[in-house]
Amino acid sequence: MPLGEIQKAVRRFVGDGDLEKALDHLSFHLSETSGYCNEVIVLRSTFNSVERELRMGTITHEDYRTQIAKLKRSILEVSGKVEPGDLQSQTEHQYIQDLEEENRKLKRELRRLEQVLQETKSVQPGLDTAILRKLSGLWLEVIGHERHAERIFSIAEFKYNRRKMEFEYNGTNYTNDGGEQFSWKSKKLLPDLAEREVYYIYSVDRPSLGAEGHIGFGLLELDDLEEERYTITKGYFFGAGSEQDPKYFDCFRMDVLLPQLNERFGLELSTHYKRTHPGLVQELHRLYTENPRVFKEVYVLD
C-alpha cells in the first residue's frame, strides 16, 4: 500500500476515535528496521494503560479525554514522519501475512480446545480427582534450554478451587533478579491421566508491558511414582498470536526440592510467603548459574 494511503487510513481511524486500529495499521506496514516501530510500541502501551485505568476507575473522564487527545496528536505526528524507507518490503509483507495466518490458525485451535474443555467436566469423580489432589502445592518451572535468558524461573501452584469446583494451575514468571514479569491464571484445565498429561488454557497479565488478557495453551507431563500417585516432570506453553516457539520447562515440587537444596548447601530457602519469592528466585538463579544440573542432581522423590 502506498505511503499516502497508509497515512490517510491512519488519519481516518484517529478521526473516528479508533486509536487501536490506527496503531494496528501503522504496526502492520512499518518495517521492523524502522526507528518508528519503538515509538508505536510505546504509544500502544500508553493507550492500553489509559484504557485500563478508565476501566478500573483510577482516572477521571476528564483526564482520560486529555490523555486520548495527546495520543491522537502523537499518532498523527508519528504517521506524518514515516517515509517510504520505513515501510515493509514486499518480502517482509508476505512474511508478516504468513505469520498472521499461522496465528489465526493457532487462535482457532485454542478456541476449539477451550470449547472442548468447557464441554468436559474439569473435576472427574472418584479416582482422577483423588490423584490430582496429590499434585496440589507449589512447583518450580525452569526453562532449561534458555540458560542465559533474562527469565527462566516461574513459581506455579496446582490447586483445587472449592468455589468453582475445579482444579487450577496459576503462577508467576520472574526475571532472574527476582522481579515479577507476569502472572497467569488457568481458565480451564483438563487431565488426561491415560496419557499422563494435563492440558490447560491460561490468561496472562503482563504488568510490565501494560497489556492484559493474553490467552495461551499449556501442557504438563506426568510421571508415575507409584500406584495412583503421580508427579509433574516437565511441560510447555505458548501464547495465541505469539511468533515464538513453545517454551519447554522442567518442573520440580518445591516442598521437596527446597529442603534438599538447604541440606546440600546449608541454605534456608522457603516458600512460606509470596513476598519472599523474589529473594528465593535470586538464590535459585545463583545455584543454577554455577551448575545448570543442580536441581536434577539433588531432586529425589520418595
Domain 119-298 CATH class label: mainly beta
- Over the stretch 248-285, which tens digit does the pLDDT of each residue have? 999 999 999 999 999 999 999 988 777 778 899 999 99
C-alpha cell at 124: 472427574
Cell numbers found for residue 256? 521437596
CA nearest neighbour of 33 among 79, 71, 75, 89: 89
Query: Which of 204, 168, 201 is closest to 184 using CA atoms?
Result: 204
Contacts of 176 (CB under 8 A, 6+ apart): 150, 151, 152, 153, 281, 282, 285
pLDDT digits (tens, 9 = 90+) for 22-58: 998 888 888 777 888 888 888 888 898 888 888 888 8
Ramachandran class of 18: left when φ > 0, alpha when ψ lies in -120 to 50, beta otherwise: beta
Share of the chain above pLDDT 70, in %: 80
Question: 3-state DSSP call for residue 83?
Answer: coil
Each residue's pLDDT tens digit, 228-255: 678 999 999 987 555 467 889 999 999 9
The kind and range of the H/E element at 172 are: strand 166-174
Cell of 31: 518495517
pTM: 0.59
